[in-house]
A and B are shown apart, each in its own frame.
Chain A
Amino acid sequence: MTRRTFLTETAAAVVTFGAAPRFLLRAATAAPPERRRVVVAVFQRGAADGLNIVVPFGDPGYRPARPRIGIAPPARGGGERALDLDGSFGLHPSLAPLAPLYARGELAWVTAVGSPDATRSHFDAQEFMETGTPGVKSTGDGWLNRCLQQARTPAEPSVFRAVALAPLLPRALQGPETALALPSLDAFDIRGAADGPVQRGFEALYRDAVQDFLGGTGRTTLEAVKRLRAARAGARPPEHGAVYPPGRFGEALRQTAQLVKLDVGLEVAFVEVEGWDHHVAEGGARGPLAARLDEFGRALAAFWQDLGERRGDVVVLTMTEFGRTVRENGNAGTDHGHAGTMLVLGGRVRGGRVHGRWPGLAPEQLFEGRDLAVTTDFRDLFAEVAVRHLGVPWTAPLFPGYPVRPERFPGVLPAA
């Protein structure tokens, strides 16, 4: 369907029914399509071991705490050693595909980032991170939905403004702004022919029959189905030589790149990647975590390659609910800890450096005597991305009970 027919139809809808949903009213006066800034939030569910992702080889406390799973410091000749980032920190060798992005200054790491809440429960900590309200479970909406509520209203509304490449809408995107959960772009469809009786019947039912929010949702849904069908025709295979690794994460990022390039109005994408809860036999330069990081790094590198000239519009922000214990446990794994490590990737990112104040690994520097302490509240990092990339006003109440203070931003993006 073309934009013209969409506008004609929606204008007709407005004429027919006095109270059309807000997005339809906006559509009737829409401006030409615009390239939009996009945030791709990646949630590493299960608490990724930040200390073996960005390895603090310069801290004398690191190796003794991890005799079996520690990563060797960088050295000439490389091999199964950390890849030097700045003389103090090194990248896990499986993340080698991300090294060129760091070298080009597009990728930044933030260490010792996490929640002020001490919970070591996956589900509570994920909840707190996604609502942006540590310690409070009654928060109704997610922080990314609040971003959309508080960012400037786009000139042209889109049902694809916020998309989770997941079967269920994650907590972070829940709230009053419309957000879609798409298990896959291909599966978001009505079965049968586009002009078949069932689809036309549903369209007519939801276009004509109901004028409450259920009807509004129905129109949004069927509109999204139509636009996706039209957009799929213009979908291209991965470009610029990008090769995504097999697996759900690579597939989700491949589809995210499609959505960005199709200009369907995407502003927030949410992708989840599981399998970080390594209590047993985590491995060091090789092993389960290394395999997970290999897929993770290759998928992100392919995504970045695939985006081509759209890289300037996109920021990727990774997050995980908490970090893991400094000391390896009796099963050569790690248990639930406190501060973790996050990645920021973007054309405008102040990359090529490791951000965040390092709290140290000496016993007296650890949180509750065992975990890496938090020196950057995750909300300050999230707020920086929301304000400096999506254009959310810094005065907006992005995190209830925690005003945004630009002076607390870790500095991963340039001001204005």
Chain B
Amino acid sequence: MRPNGRRGGRVQAGVRRAPAGLLLLALGLAACAAPVAPRPPAAASPVPVPRESGLPATGLPERQQARHVLDRLAYGPRPGEAEAVARRGLLAWIDAQLDPSRLDDADVERRLAGLAVPTMTPRELMEAYPLPQAFRQQGRVVPRERSPQALVGELRRARLLRAVYSERQLLEVMVDFWFNHFNVFAGKGTVRYYLPDYERTALRPHALGRFRDLLGAVAHHPAMLYYLDAWLSTAPGPRAGGRRTGLNENYARELLELHTLGVDGGYEQADVVAVARAFTGWTIDHPRPGHPRSGGGFLFDPRAHDAGPKRVLGQEIRAAGVEEGERVLDLLARHPATARHIARKLARRFVGDDPPPGLVDRAAAVFRERDGDIRAVVRAIVLSPEFFAPAAYCAKVRTPLEFVAAALRAVGAETDGGAPIQRTLGLMGEPLYGAQPPTGYADRAEAWTSPGGLLARLNFAQALAAGRLPGSRVALERLAPEDLEASGLADALVEQWLGGDVSAETRAVLREALAQPAVRRATLDDPLPAPDVATVAALVLGSPEFQRK
């Protein structure tokens, strides 16, 4: 079911009794209810985009451009943010986001100050959160605050707090993108000890950097070495230290299939084996509790390395010990199939589930010409006509993390990101760091529109708006001026949170809900019936429109 997008704003213009400023802004906007088809600019663009904006003129009105940019390059707008970004200039905002180190992020740093786990080393974490077996062997129960759940819980809090409060929004979006691209699972073995370091040192510094650097940081990291079993993979031969030895293809296969070339990238089983052999000996310098200097980092074990001749994708990999893996990474990072694979995934993230092939081609060309400069590829994608096309507007369904963060940002919530909200993310299907398969969490709408997940979203919307979500507070009164009548309130929230972009039906439902006596509250202090902001807020946040971005 497609186009014919319902257009909400215009038809209601005469019925409204809300503040004039909000009303004016809501006029003539296209609906978010369903993907909008491209249409002739004359009919669709009452506000032509001035050329000096530096953005492609596609017919998408300027205010929608601002929302679109904040929905895709950030976790949704905060109150008033779309207007502010539009005033400052979208291009300037985008370029500032592409250079995150220059953005002051003191607010989120202050919020993260109480969390130790994200800054700890693997060795420190092993000592602070020992393996549950260690407790059991002493006949003790694992104390809750030292359990594996406590470790992962802190990391989850940090991730959510950054998504909601960081000024470096695009960086956070990219960290989420790369975490899923190079996914590791907190529930596998000792991966959790390496997780904070993995995100902090392998992903974050390179998220907008050079792909080869990112790929290399991931390949060396114990989180990945453990998760995909590379640390166990050795040349076949005599047993060393009693452990079974032999080749493990797990990492090699995912390196080709998921991290670089893509499943149709033109490699064969023989390439998987050759790559696996090139990486034999890449292992973990295991931290040993009680040995303060012992590692937690990468170690090359020459005794485990298979020094025999290898050919990968038709190229000979000369016997060179640890350097063989590096040569394979060089080869893969600069392969045209990798450029295409990464370009397509980035275009899917920023533009649409099935990105336009022309855009993918151009982004892949930038990837090749700029030697895998991720910043340049992202910039090419988000400044493209395809990105600003009306067809791309509201075309994606928010992932649970995007939905939760967008809702918290929209209502200006104060959250600690703690267990209740993390459980909610789990119910929606996206427990952070909880994706077991190496594919990470999906970036397509179908994955996020299950009944259980949607029900969790509706209940979250309700709990947040009603102030019943422990650890999260909203001051809805501030959003609803006292003298506002019911219809004005609905319009104000629709304006604020959805940019006015709702179907006529949704707007009618919200107004009708407000017209019910049940939702007006009359107290002794406040004898005049007032609209129930929480109910309307719950409905807006739970609406089909708010599930989209």
- CB nearest to A368 among chain B residues: B244
| Bound: A198/B509 CA distance, A | 11
Q: Is the CB–CB distance between A224 and B513 below 8 Å?
A: no
| Bound: A225/B509 CA distance, A | 20
The answer to whether residues A211 and B34 also contact, given A198-B462, A217-B450 and a CB cut-off of 8 A, is yes
For B484-521 the 0/1 string (1 means CB < 8 A from A) is 00000000000000000011011011101100101100
Question: Does A9 sit within 8 A of B, measured CB to CB?
Answer: no
Q: Is the CB–CB distance between A217 and B449 below 8 Å?
A: yes
Q: Is the CB–CB distance between A210 and B544 below 8 Å?
A: yes
Question: Does B535 sit within 8 A of A, measured CB to CB?
Answer: yes
The answer to whether residues A202 and B542 also contact, given A123-B436, A214-B445 and a CB cut-off of 8 A, is yes
Q: Is the CB–CB distance between A221 and B451 below 8 Å?
A: yes
The answer to whether residues A191 and B463 also contact, given A138-B263, A168-B426, A180-B451 and a CB cut-off of 8 A, is yes
Q: Is the CB–CB distance between A212 and B34 below 8 Å?
A: yes
Q: Is the CB–CB distance between B454 and A205 below 8 Å?
A: no
| Bound: A217/B457 CA distance, A | 12
Q: Which residues of A contact B439 (CB under 8 A)?
A: 137
Q: Is the CB–CB distance between B509 and A204 below 8 Å?
A: yes
| Bound: A224/B133 CA distance, A | 42
Q: CB < 8 Å: which of B250, B455, B519 contacts A124?
A: B250
Q: Which residues of B contact A121 (CB under 8 A)?
A: 229, 250
- CB nearest to B257 among chain A residues: A138
Q: Is the CB–CB distance between A178 and B535 below 8 Å?
A: no
The answer to whether residues A198 and B539 also contact, given A138-B257, A190-B459, A191-B463 and a CB cut-off of 8 A, is yes
Q: Is the CB–CB distance between B543 and A191 below 8 Å?
A: no
- CB nearest to B452 among chain A residues: A181
- CB nearest to A21 among chain B residues: B1
Q: CB < 8 Å: which of B437, B513, B543 contacts A209?
A: B543
- CB nearest to B459 among chain A residues: A191
Q: CB < 8 Å: which of A127, A196, A201, A220 contacts B451?
A: A220
Q: Is the CB–CB distance between B458 and A190 below 8 Å?
A: yes
Q: Is the CB–CB distance between A211 and B1 below 8 Å?
A: yes
The answer to whether residues A169 and B445 also contact, given A205-B543, A205-B544 and a CB cut-off of 8 A, is no
Q: Is the CB–CB distance between A123 and B547 below 8 Å?
A: no
Question: Does A208 sit within 8 A of B, measured CB to CB?
Answer: yes
Question: Does B215 sit within 8 A of A, measured CB to CB?
Answer: no
| Bound: A25/B114 CA distance, A | 54
Chain A nearest CB, measured from B164 CB (Å)? 23
Q: Is the CB–CB distance between B429 and A168 below 8 Å?
A: yes
Question: Does A393 sit within 8 A of B, measured CB to CB?
Answer: no
Question: Does B438 sit within 8 A of A, measured CB to CB?
Answer: yes
Q: CB < 8 Å: which of A169, A202, A215, A218 contacts B539?
A: A202
Question: Does A182 sit within 8 A of B, measured CB to CB?
Answer: yes
Q: Is the CB–CB distance between B426 and A197 below 8 Å?
A: no
Q: Which residues of A contact B1 (CB under 8 A)?
A: 19, 211-213
| Bound: A181/B430 CA distance, A | 13
Q: Is the CB–CB distance between A197 and B459 below 8 Å?
A: no
Q: Which residues of A contact B370 (CB under 8 A)?
A: none
The answer to whether residues A208 and B505 also contact, given A214-B397, A218-B544 and a CB cut-off of 8 A, is yes
Q: Is the CB–CB distance between A201 and B33 below 8 Å?
A: no
Chain B nearest CB, measured from A258 CB (Å)? 18
Q: Which residues of B contact A280 (CB under 8 A)?
A: 133
Q: Is the CB–CB distance between B427 and A183 below 8 Å?
A: yes
Q: Is the CB–CB distance between B455 and A190 below 8 Å?
A: yes
Q: Is the CB–CB distance between B452 and A182 below 8 Å?
A: yes
Question: Does A408 sit within 8 A of B, measured CB to CB?
Answer: no
Chain B nearest CB, measured from A262 CB (Å)? 17
Chain B nearest CB, measured from A302 CB (Å)? 26
Q: CB < 8 Å: which of A198, A210, A214, A220 contacts B535?
A: A198
The answer to whether residues A215 and B229 also contact, given A197-B535, A209-B506, A221-B451 and a CB cut-off of 8 A, is no
Q: Is the CB–CB distance between A188 and B452 below 8 Å?
A: yes
For A157-184 the 0/1 string (1 means CB < 8 A from B) is 0010000000111010000001111110
Within 8 A of A (CB), among B508-549: 508-510, 512-513, 516, 518-519, 532, 535, 538-539, 542-545, 547-548
Q: Which residues of A contact B547 (CB under 8 A)?
A: 214
Question: Does B145 sit within 8 A of A, measured CB to CB?
Answer: no
Q: Which residues of A contact B52 (CB under 8 A)?
A: none
- CB nearest to B4 among chain A residues: A211
Question: Does B75 sit within 8 A of A, measured CB to CB?
Answer: no
Q: Is the CB–CB distance between A214 and B539 below 8 Å?
A: no
Q: Is the CB–CB distance between B510 and A201 below 8 Å?
A: yes
Q: Is the CB–CB distance between A200 and B34 below 8 Å?
A: no
Q: Is the CB–CB distance between A169 and B452 below 8 Å?
A: yes
For B391-417 the 0/1 string (1 means CB < 8 A from A) is 000000100000000000000000000
Q: Which residues of B contact A179 (CB under 8 A)?
A: 450
- CB nearest to B509 among chain A residues: A204
For B161-198 the 0/1 string (1 means CB < 8 A from A) is 00000000000000000000000010010000000000
| Bound: A137/B427 CA distance, A | 24
Q: Is the CB–CB distance between A201 and B518 below 8 Å?
A: no
| Bound: A204/B458 CA distance, A | 13
| Bound: A150/B538 CA distance, A | 39
The answer to whether residues A208 and B509 also contact, given A167-B427, A191-B463 and a CB cut-off of 8 A, is yes
- CB nearest to A200 among chain B residues: B513
Q: Which residues of A contact B458 (CB under 8 A)?
A: 190, 202, 221
Question: Does B482 sit within 8 A of A, measured CB to CB?
Answer: no
Within 8 A of B (CB), among A211-268: 211-215, 217-218, 220-221, 224-225
Question: Does B446 sit within 8 A of A, measured CB to CB?
Answer: yes
The answer to whether residues A218 and B33 also contact, given A121-B229, A123-B436 and a CB cut-off of 8 A, is no
Chain B nearest CB, measured from A24 CB (Å)? 13
Question: Does A192 sit within 8 A of B, measured CB to CB?
Answer: yes
Within 8 A of A (CB), among B16-45: 33-35
Q: CB < 8 Å: which of B506, B518, B548 contacts A205?
A: B506
- CB nearest to B506 among chain A residues: A209
For A86-105 the 0/1 string (1 means CB < 8 A from B) is 00000000000000000000
Q: Which residues of B contact A188 (CB under 8 A)?
A: 452, 455
The answer to whether residues A159 and B429 also contact, given A201-B509, A202-B542, A209-B503 and a CB cut-off of 8 A, is no
Q: Which residues of B contact A201 (CB under 8 A)?
A: 509-510, 513, 535, 538-539
| Bound: A179/B446 CA distance, A | 13
Q: Is the CB–CB distance between B512 and A204 below 8 Å?
A: yes
Q: Is the CB–CB distance between A210 and B33 below 8 Å?
A: yes
Q: Is the CB–CB distance between B463 and A137 below 8 Å?
A: no
The answer to whether residues A191 and B518 also contact, given A168-B426, A212-B1, A221-B454 and a CB cut-off of 8 A, is no
| Bound: A206/B33 CA distance, A | 11
Q: Which residues of A contact B446 (CB under 8 A)?
A: 213
Q: Is the CB–CB distance between B429 and A215 below 8 Å?
A: no
Chain A nearest CB, measured from B37 CB (Å)? 13
- CB nearest to A17 among chain B residues: B1
Q: Which residues of B contact A196 (CB under 8 A)?
A: 518
Q: Which residues of A contact B427 (CB under 8 A)?
A: 167, 183
Q: Which residues of B contact A190 (CB under 8 A)?
A: 455, 458-459, 462
| Bound: A183/B516 CA distance, A | 33
- CB nearest to B34 among chain A residues: A212
The answer to whether residues A209 and B505 also contact, given A198-B535, A200-B513, A215-B544 and a CB cut-off of 8 A, is yes
Q: Which residues of B contact A191 (CB under 8 A)?
A: 459, 462-463
For B434-475 the 0/1 string (1 means CB < 8 A from A) is 001111000001100111101100110011000000000000
Chain A nearest CB, measured from B227 CB (Å)? 9
Q: Which residues of B contact A127 (CB under 8 A)?
A: 436-437
Q: Is the CB–CB distance between B33 and A209 below 8 Å?
A: yes
| Bound: A406/B547 CA distance, A | 46
Which 10 A-B pairs give the minimum distances between C-beta atoms?
A: A221-B451, A210-B544, A209-B505, A181-B452, A208-B505, A204-B509, A209-B506, A201-B539, A201-B513, A217-B449
Q: Can you list 18 A-B pairs, Cβ within 8 angstroms, ordered by A? A: A123-B437, A124-B250, A137-B438, A169-B452, A171-B437, A183-B427, A190-B458, A197-B513, A197-B532, A198-B535, A198-B539, A202-B458, A205-B509, A208-B509, A209-B502, A209-B506, A214-B544, A214-B547
Give 7 A-B pairs besides A188-B452, A198-B538, A210-B34 with Cβ atoms closer than 8 angstroms. Answer: A169-B429, A179-B450, A197-B513, A209-B543, A212-B1, A213-B445, A217-B454
